[in-house]
Structure 1
Amino acid sequence: MAHGFGLTGHDGLPSYAEALTQAGVAVLAYDHRYLGDSEGEPRQRIRTSEQLEDRMAAIAFARMLDGIDPDQIILWGYSLSGGTTLEATVADQRVAAAILLCPFLDGRWRLFQGLRTQPRNALWLIPQAMRDAVIPIAAAPGGRAGLTFPGELEGFLSAVAPGWRNEVHAGLALPLPLWRPVAQARKFTCPVLIQAGERDITVSARAIDRVAQRAPRATLKNSQIIEDQADWLRAFSRV
């Protein structure tokens, strides 16, 4: 279990981990490198390739733990880590199942949306990304940050724990338009529960629908309810 863009294990993950534990599974929650409780410099740097490496390392570690069935590893990802979860299951066909919560699956879509709805911020972001400057993760529309769509700042502030750092290295913006886990949907062959938000403007609803349609064993729910994840896990364990 790993969190999304700029978030850590302190930001709402404990409630999900507790609910899934009560559903009968062991939970390994971790922070990506440079974030939260994980080590590494520079702090607050995010790269999808590095976070995929972290995910693969977490899988390998979990398989070595006593009492864990190495063939029953289930991946959980929210937002940006939902995309790396898809990539990890494609890279490791031994993964048993996955849960994606509001997954970010199409960086190109985000670029076009930013240029269309927040062009000044999108143009400001380019030189910041080229020098990998530290910028705010989120700001209100009209502000300057990585995420400035209406409601995005409020969404972060409603979910984060005290001590959350509204900072990120801007270099992620350069390769992000080329990062499209949605293109691997047909290779996403393990059972997967995808939970989408009906009013979520941060991620592409079209990309989520495409994965749900093309992944052979996908279940799509338009909800973000923890109990749905627990029920799906219980049903999966009985299969």
Structure 2
Amino acid sequence: MSYEKARETAGFIKAKYDKEIKIAVVLGSGLGAFADEVENAVKIPYEEIPNFARSTVEGHAGRLILGEIEGVSVAVQQGRFHYYEGYDISQVVFPVRTFGLLGVKSLILTNAAGSVNTDFKQGSLMLIRDHINLMGINPLRGKNDERFGVRFPDMTEVYSLEYQEIVIAESKKMAQEKAVRRETETGKKQTANYFLRRGVYCGLSGPSYETPSEIRL
């Protein structure tokens, strides 16, 4: 989708919320309730936003939430668009390009996914350190518009090492605090359970799950 359409959408959002947005968050399946943490929230259904697609997957509310968390202005996508819903890949990534025109510098992506690592249990929290694109398509394919970015972007550090260190430190702190609470409650020495996992995300087009052979691959 064109730069002009992204600029139109960014202008619409700015008219609804005039503060400078610092961080954008895309909520995946099961995480929609996080949007309730946004203070002074402005809630806009996707169908009211020019050029936005619609969320058709169960559990994706289909709203853009604008407001503050801990005093920081954020944009929260409560539900996203998937390639397997039949949308063109340019429609899928369109919100992120719009966030860029709004001045967003930090993007937090979340999702629910299966794991091929048998050490991971259902409900495990994994921090993505890198990804492998197995979708057979790239959203940057086609004529490049330099107003969005360079033709050949550097993918060396797609996932901020600085932010990863913050997440790791906070997860350890949470685990230690939980161990202290349990020790106080039980009177027995507790070992901190460091619950955070790290891994590489493999992107596939869906909507079918992977076959056993694909998993072994």
Output the TM-score relative to the length of structure 1.
0.28
Output the TM-score relative to the length of structure 2.
0.31
Name the one with the larger strand percent: 2
Name the one with the larger helix percent: 1
Larger Rg: 2
